[in-house]
Structure 1
């Protein structure tokens, strides 16, 4: 069984070094990048499928050359066998639609797998569009918000439990033919129910760590010509979404003063206790702990 996981690098907002050009487009090459957090759940779904049904796991991303490290991280997480980076200046500044066109073309070049996994949404765009749009381009059946899944290889079917959000959170069971596209919900929890599964997981972990150290040996990089896409339909030119402007989020003004205290200084620590004592008395009077 062949499974493919789509992953993406997103800006590491913790670093505070997000860079935009004069047109408001994110300059990913100048911005610290980490793997999209929601993709971790898709990677776990692929790993569970690999453990239970053997086969091969591939990971694919579209982005600048710096995404190689993101793919390396994904390989170590899902114990993947091979990596694919779709990278080209013609693909820069793509919205979700242009990204979906590019990814679907790359998937067809790879050979449509039995299962394609995608994360719920990305931390930068927050749209949740790329997975479903890629699926639409591939004309595959899709299951969204999957929280558990299993595959019947003989029947060529996948069954999943998916989260349904309404007035209350509900879970429904759905089933469809392979090949299929699965968008994995953050509530997904992998399950390794047998001793065989756990032993297989341990064996895969050992070999995957070695493979991840030399990940470039199993990395394939494609440009737009390799996946046979017209530059007019990808990147900025193929993106119907228009970003009118991007405003930086201002830092909130500091409203509190901080006093540095040396824990070894008895006088300074006594001052801290004196400052806290009135609040402790108020809490005790109110019945607090």
Structure 2
């Protein structure tokens, strides 16, 4: 079973990690990059497939050279076997359409140079764009079937079919069971949770974790980088030139209002420390009741 997981690096939006300029615009150069949280779910789904059916899982990302750290993170945490980075200046400023064209070229190149692919996993949406379009657009470019909002899945290797439970949102949320032939795309729902039901599955999972430790420490040896020429892409159809999306304006992110006042004290000042103690004593008394 040969699987590819599409991953993306996004700004770390955790408290204290994001950097903004004085106008409230995100400063990407000063904000750490992490794996898109929904992509972590997709990688877990690929790992579950590998544990149950064996095979090989590769991580693939399109972005600047720094995205290699995101791919290394996938290897460290969910045990991908190797990594593929699609990267050069011609790919910069791609919208979802140009990104999908590039990713599909990466998948086709993988099949030509490495091996045929059975499954491609993608996250539900990215934390910085939230369009949810890249996975479906890439599946369209490959002309492969796609199953979205996947909550659980398994594979019949002999029949080469995927069976999945997917969430259907509406006035009343429903779960439906669907089947699709391989190769196909899987877009995981954020509620997907991997399941290792048997002792052999859990043992395999443990073994994979041990095998990956040394591989991740030497990630560069397992990283392949392809530029647009390697992918046989025309620069007119990728990057900014190949992106039909027009951004009419960008609004600054408003600064969050302060929810409480802070009083600074000198830890060497006994009177100030006594004031703090007096402030907390009523709460200590309540806790003891």
Using the size of structure 2 for normalisation, the TM-score is 0.88
Q: Which residue of 2 aligns with 1:37?
A: 37
> Counterparts of 2:173 and 2:259 in 1: how far apart (Å)?
40
Which of 245, 254, 261 pairs up with 2:249?
Answer: 245
> Counterparts of 2:202 and 2:259 in 1: how far apart (Å)?
52
Stretches of structure 1 lacking an aligned partner (at least 5 in a row)? 281-288
Give the secondary structure class of the aligned counterpart of 2:105.
helix
Q: Which residue of 2 aligns with 1:285?
A: none
What is the aligned residue count?
A: 273
> Counterparts of 1:258 and 1:30 in 2: how far apart (Å)?
27
Q: Does 1:16 align with 2:18?
A: yes
> Counterparts of 1:189 and 1:256 in 2: how far apart (Å)?
37
Give the secondary structure class of the aligned counterpart of 1:227.
coil
1:258 positional shift = 1.9
Which of 190, 195, 203 pairs up with 2:207?
Answer: 203
Q: Which residue of 1 aligns with 2:62?
A: 62
Q: For the aligned residues, what is the CA RMSD?
A: 2.3
Give the secondary structure class of the aligned counterpart of 2:232.
coil
Using the size of structure 1 for normalisation, the TM-score is 0.88
Stretches of structure 2 lacking an aligned partner (at least 5 in a row)? none
Q: Which residue of 1 aligns with 2:148?
A: 144
Q: Does 1:225 align with 2:211?
A: no
1:121 positional shift = 0.2
> Counterparts of 2:187 and 2:198 in 1: how far apart (Å)?
25
1:84 positional shift = 0.1
1:190 positional shift = 0.6
1:106 positional shift = 0.5
1:44 positional shift = 0.5
Q: Does 1:269 align with 2:277?
A: yes
Q: Which residue of 1 aligns with 2:109?
A: 109
Q: Does 1:159 align with 2:159?
A: no
> Counterparts of 2:74 and 2:150 in 1: how far apart (Å)?
20
